[in-house]
Amino acid sequence: MKKVFMVPAVVAALFLASCGGGDKSSTATHEHESTTSTPAETPAASVPGIENVETTDHIQLQASDDMRFDKDLFKVKAGSKVKLTLKNIGEQPIESMGHNAVVLDQGTDVAAFGGEAFKAKEEEYIPSTFASSIIAHTKLLGPGQSDEIEFTLPKAGVYEFICSFPGHWGTMQGKIVAE
Ligand SMILES: [Cu+2]
């Protein structure tokens, strides 16, 4: 009846035909957007403050003369390569205030490890008696020195890291949560 509307109708029909004509598929693609799961049972849930930590693949640490790391909580992806950089920003000599970063396997007795490390001066405080508990470690660093290592945390869970220089692990320790 109203011939003025014929032209737009034809254009629309051609447009639909050229796109395959199906408009059902476009509505179906939005169905899964609201099903994001909440990680209530992940290992991260047991570590206070982890909810404020971004996942990273590069852990950057500084160690200082007051026997502290500048950070103590990290989150990484399990099974993915992680880089760790440690810089000793202190001024005390390595003999009295050396620092390293030792990443320990899940479930390692940190106090027992620290005790063995204390006796392992010839091994730069990386005790071979605990070799199977060590995921990775930096070199022992003197003032101004830095080291970079790469490792992979195999399973989801909480991994401790410490400085194994005698007397340091009590204040120089932190956690890496792998998810
Ligand atoms: Cu230290």
Q: Tell me, what's the pLDDT at 44?
A: 62
Which of residues 117 and 14 earns the better pLDDT score? Answer: 117
37-41, 45-49, 82-86, 169-173: range with lowest mean pLDDT = 37-41
CA 85–ligand 1 middle distance (angstroms): 14
Residue 21 CA to its chain's centroid (Å): 47
- Phi/psi region, residue 125 (left: phi>0; alpha: psi -120 to 50; beta: rest), is left
For residues 106-126, average pLDDT: 97
Taking the CA atoms of residue 90, residue 108, residue 156 and residue 103 in that order, the dihedral angle to the nearest 10 degrees is 20
pLDDT over 60 (residue 170): yes
CA 176–ligand 1 middle distance (angstroms): 18
Q: Tell me, what's the pLDDT at 49?
A: 93
Q: Tell me, what's the pLDDT at 45?
A: 66
Element (H, E) at 114: helix 110-118
pLDDT tens-place string over residues 14-66 = 444 444 444 444 444 444 444 444 444 566 668 999 999 999 999 999 999 99
Any idea which architecture 43-178 has in CATH? Answer: Sandwich (2.60)
Q: At 82, is the pLDDT very low, low, confident or very high (cuts 50, 70, 90)?
A: very high
Q: Tell me, what's the pLDDT at 36?
A: 46
CA 46–ligand 1 middle distance (angstroms): 26
Residues, CB-to-ion distance under 5 Å, ligand 1: 99, 163, 165, 168, 172
CA 168–ligand 1 middle distance (angstroms): 5
For residues 144-173, average pLDDT: 98
The residues spanned by each domain of the chain are: 43-178
